[in-house]
Amino acid sequence: MSTKPLPVSHGGARGSWFGRLPVVSHFNKSVGLQRGMLVAGLVLTAAFLLTAAFAPLIAPFGFAQISDAGGSFPAQEAPNAKHLMGTTVGGYDVFSRVIWGTQTALMVIIVAVIMSIFLGVILGLVSGYIGGWLDRILVVIADAIYAFPSLLVAIVMAIVISGGRSSLWGGILAAAISITVVFIPQYFRVIRAETIRLKAEPFVESAKVVGASNIRIMSRHIFKNATRTLPLIFTLNAAEAILTLAGLGFLGFGIEPTSAAEWGFDLNKALADTTSGIWWTGVFPGLAIVLTVVGLTLVGESINDLNDPRLRGRKRASAGKNGPDPSTGNQAATSAEVSSS
């Protein structure tokens, strides 16, 4: 009986490193509708990031510009060739403010996520590894923080930082601090649970035997393994940051229009326009918020489903009904060839 060896693919080090990236690895595991959701989320998120990066090139006017060489912009003008999305009651170009607003939203996401991850990961590592009375105190504090609504905290921070009317960095810090306070417990819980599980693993015990310090064990051995689930929380945190910033602006605690473009503020000013049939001042900023949040949420939920073996297996089983798996077919053909020989 002769057998033919199965073909073996030899991926380079670079290919294997690229395939282990969070989004790339999840895309390779996704099938069917799950892949479609992930791709849709990635497209919307990429459009948001690219728009923020190239806003100075895309926007025809400045976010606070109300005139050009031809004179002052007309107020509440309908969409036309010069003003693609019309103008506001203050004479601002809606399209330009929507484009510039992506930069403001991205800055809030960066500040809020960095602060949340930094504090949440450190507290989770320390609490889960050391345990004892410190762990009990931190768990109680984390549970208590869930009672605070994020928008209420954001309003308080806006008043404390800038008296309720925010400059660019005042509004960003108000939203970022409120998001940080609310999301630290989520990072804390995830990292703490993983740390408690990992500290009982043999490689941690071996590090203790050779005399490694607690700081080295937490930073070198536990940290990398405990932070694998952070991409999911990161995407949900980013979506919450955008909604909180928009909520501040809509309630009148947002960023001044002369300091930066902010979608929530534009929605607040568009309320009076709706009764007059002026729809463009509110539709486009609202659409920007919805598309950005939907994109980030789709990416986060897709990653969550693909991290769950039960959901991933169910998706693959349903995809298998639509057509045979090429790898399964190759294995079956190889088995038949071995049997015949």
* 3-state SS record for 293-331: HHHHHHHHHHHHHHHCHHHHHHHHHHHHHHCCCHHHHHH
Of residues 85 and 231, the one with the higher pLDDT is 85
**Residue whose token pair is 């390779």:** 28
The pLDDT of residue 329: 45
Q: Which residues contact 291 (CB under 8 A, 6 or more apart)?
A: 44, 47, 48
pLDDT in tens, 113-168: 888 888 888 888 888 888 888 889 988 988 888 777 777 877 887 777 766 566 67
pLDDT in tens, 162-219: 665 666 777 777 777 877 887 888 888 888 888 888 887 787 777 777 777 778 777 7
Query: Structural domains in the chain?
Result: 30-326 (1.10.3720.10)
B/e letters for 53-85, b = 16+ CB within 10 Å, e = fewer, are eebeebbebebbebeeeeeebeeebeeeeebeb
pLDDT in tens, 53-79: 999 999 999 888 888 888 888 888 889
